[in-house]
Amino acid sequence: MISENLILDRGVSAGDAWMTVDPADIRQALSTLKDGGYRLLVFLTCVDHLVDASRSFPARYELVYELRDMDKPEHLRVRAFVDGDPPRIDSVHDLFPPANWEERETYDMFGVVFNDHPDLTRILMPDDWVGHPLRRDYPVGGEVVEFSEEHEIWQTAPDKA
C-alpha cells in the first residue's frame, strides 16, 4: 500500500476516510493507490478555501480525488493543497482516463493548470470566456447580459485574458 512518508495528514470526515499528500507527489501517491486496488477515480474536483475561517488550510486551492475500490467496496479521498497563480499540479489522465474531462472542468472553473494534460482547454464555458467562475472571488451575476449596452463594452476581452 501507500508508503507512510507520502502522507502528510489523514483522518475521517463524516465517515469518509481521507489523506493529504504533497501536490508534488500526487502521481506517485495515486499510482500506488491504484495498484493497491483503488482503480476507479469517482470524481476529481477543486475547493477554493478563500477566507474560510472555520478551519485552517495550508493553501487556497484544495484538489480532491475520490477513489474507490470496487471489490471491497471502499472509498478514499486524497487531497492536495496548491497555491500560486496559476495553481499547478501534475495531470493524472493517463492513470485514470475519466480524469481527462474532470481536469479540463477543474481548469475551466478554477484555473488550476494540470501539467502534461493533452488538451487543457475550457470544456463547459465558451473558449473566449474571461475568468474562472467557481473561484470564490468570481461574483455571481458578474456576467454581462448579451445585446445590452453593457455588452458592447464588455465584448472586448481584457488584454490579460
Partner 1 sequence: MSTPEGVTISRTGEAGAFGGELLTVNFGPHHPSTHGVLRLIVDLDGEQVRSVKPVIGYLHTGIEKQMEALRWQQGVVVTDRHDYLSPPINNLAYALAVEKLLGVDVPPRANALRVIMSELTRLSSHLVWMGTSGLELGAMSMLMYCFRERDTILDMNEEISGFRMHTSYIRPGGVMADATPRFLEMLEAFIRAMPGHVDEYEELLTMNPIWRSRTIGIGRLSAEDAKVLGATGPMLRGSGVAWDLRRAIPYSGYEDYDFEVATSDLCDCYGRYLVRIKEMRESVKILRQALDRLPDGPVNVDDRKILPPPREELETSMEAVIHHFKLFTEGYSVPPGDVYVAVESGRGENGCYVVSDGTHKPRRVKFRSASFVNLQALERMALNHMIADMIAIIGTADAVLGDVDR
Q: Give the residue with the Cβ less far from partner 1, 15 or 158.
A: 15
Q: Give the residue with the Cβ less far from partner 1, 5 or 139.
A: 139
Which of 37, 66, 90, 131 touches partner 1 (CB under 8 A)? 66
109 φψ region: left (φ > 0), alpha (ψ -120 to 50), beta (else): alpha
DSSP string spanning the chain? ---GGGEEEEEEETTEEEEEE-GGGHHHHHHHHHHTT--EEEEEEEEE-TT--SS--SSSEEEEEEEEETTTTEEEEEEEEE-BTTBEEE--TTTSTTHHHHHHHHHHHH--EEET-TT---SSS-TT--S-TTSTTSPTT-SPPTTSHHHHHHTS--TT-
Which of 54, 128, 147, 156 touches partner 1 (CB under 8 A)? 54
Q: Give the residue with the Cβ less far from partner 1, 23 or 65.
A: 65
* Cα radius of gyration rounded to whole Å, the chain: 18
Q: Give the residue with the Cβ less far from partner 1, 126 or 158.
A: 126
Binding mask 97-136 for partner 1 (x = CB under 8 A): xx-xx-------x---------x-xxxxxx------xx-x
* Binding of partner 1 by 56 (CB under 8 A): no
Q: Give the residue with the Cβ less far from partner 1, 142 or 149.
A: 142
Binding mask 5-44 for partner 1 (x = CB under 8 A): --------xxxx----------------------xxxxx-
From CA 114, how far away is CA 92, in angstroms rounded?
8
Which of 5, 73, 149, 156 touches partner 1 (CB under 8 A)? 73
Q: Least distance (Å) from partner 1 to the CB of residue 102?
A: 8
* Binding of partner 1 by 59 (CB under 8 A): no
